Each structure stands twice: as structure tokens, then as C-alpha cells.
């Protein structure tokens, strides 16, 4: 078994989800099956592989050969996909009214929520 009932409850709490009692066992069973399947990732040797943290073209190469940062940077520049930073200039953004209009409970110019600070 990959995941226990207690872990399901802990995860639900972390995710701010309130589960009905009957949902807990359903999710436990389903997550267990999915995690067992995902366990196949443990079959691979990933030592020396850099995690893919940017969506830019990857360099080719052998499966175990971690490419250098410089090589990746070069590949990215060649492809012209290095993210472009825009100029740091102030532009007007007068959207407060439109945004608050969608709020379930607005007390302009604020969003109102249940009291969070007791005094």
C-alpha cells in the first residue's frame, strides 16, 4: 500500500479540501493505484540528469549524459527562446472596479472575509 487513510487526510488538509467520510476511502484506493503505477519511475537511473525546470529546447545527447549549463544556454540562445525581460516601466492598471465586481463579497475597495484576527 502506497498511501494510508491518515496520509489522505493530511494531504486534504494541506490542499484545503474538506472530504466527506466516504470520499476518504475512495480517494485512498484511487491514489494508491495511481501511485503504484507512477512507481515505475523508480526503474530509471536518473543520476547525472538535470531536472527539466525550463520549457526550452533540450540539447540532444546520450541518456545519462547531463548537459552543461553553458551548452543549454547556448542552445536556448541559438533557438532564440531565452525569455525576454521587458523594461521595468510603470503602466496604468485601472482594473480595481472590474475586479471587485466579480468578488463574492466586496466592501469596496476591499474583499471581505470572515474575521481572522481575534482581539
Partner 1 sequence: MTTAPTWTIGSVRDALLAKKTSARELAKDFYAQIERRNPEINAFLALCPERAYAQADRVDAAIAKGQPLGSLAGVPVAIKDVISTEGVRTTCGSKILENYTPPYDATAIERLKNAGAVILGKTNCDEFAMGSSNENSAYGAVRNPAALDRVPGGSSGGSAAAVAAGLSVVALGTDTGGSIRQPGAYCGVPALMPTYGRVSRYGLIAFASSLDRIGPFATNIADVATVMSVIAGHDSNDSTSAAIDVPDYAAELEKSLDGMRIGVPEDYFGAGLDPELKAKIEAGIALLEKLGCKRVPLKMPHTDYAIATYYIVATAEASSNLARYDGVRYGLRVQGNTLMDMYRRTRERGFGPEVKRRIMLGTYALSSGYYDAYYLRAQKVRALIARDFANAFEIVDAIITPTAPTPAFKLGEKTADPLEMYLADIYTVTGSLAGVPGISVPCGQTAGGLPIGMQIFASHFGEGRILQLARAFERAGGFSI
List of residues contacting partner 1 (CB under 8 A)? 3, 7-8, 10-12, 14-20, 23, 27, 30-31, 33-35, 37-44, 46, 49-53, 55-61, 63, 79-81, 83-86, 95, 98-99, 101-105, 111, 113-116
Nearer to partner 1, 17 or 73 (CB): 17
As measured in angstroms, the least distance from the Cβ of 48 to partner 1 is 9
Rounded Cα–Cα distance for residues 97 and 68 (Å)? 49
| Burial of 27 per CB tally in 10 Å (0-12, 13-18, 19+) | middle
- Which cell numbers hold the place of 64? 545519462
As measured in angstroms, the least distance from the Cβ of 57 to partner 1 is 4
Please list the alpha-helical segments (H only) found in the chain.
5-14, 21-38, 69-79, 96-100
As measured in angstroms, the least distance from the Cβ of 9 to partner 1 is 10
Nearer to partner 1, 37 or 73 (CB): 37
Rounded Cα–Cα distance for residues 27 and 41 (Å)? 22
As measured in angstroms, the least distance from the Cβ of 98 to partner 1 is 4
Phi then psi for 38, rounded to 5 degrees?
A: -65, -20
Nearer to partner 1, 49 or 73 (CB): 49
Amino acid at each position: 500500500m502506497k498511501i494510508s487513510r491518515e496520509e489522505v487526510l493530511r494531504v486534504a488538509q494541506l490542499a484545503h479540501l474538506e472530504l466527506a467520510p466516504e470520499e476518504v476511502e475512495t480517494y485512498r484506493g484511487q491514489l494508491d493505484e495511481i501511485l503504484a503505477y507512477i512507481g515505475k519511475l523508480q526503474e530509471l537511473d536518473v543520476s547525472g540528469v538535470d531536472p527539466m525546470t525550463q520549457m526550452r529546447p533540450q540539447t540532444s545527447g546520450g541518456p545519462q549524459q547531463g548537459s552543461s549549463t553553458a551548452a543549454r544556454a547556448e542552445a536556448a540562445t541559438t533557438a532564440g527562446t531565452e525569455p525576454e525581460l521587458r523594461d521595468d516601466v510603470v503602466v496604468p492598471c485601472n482594473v480595481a472596479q472590474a475586479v471587485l465586481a466579480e468578488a463574492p463579497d466586496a466592501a469596496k475597495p476591499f474583499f471581505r472575509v470572515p474575521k481572522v484576527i481575534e482581539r
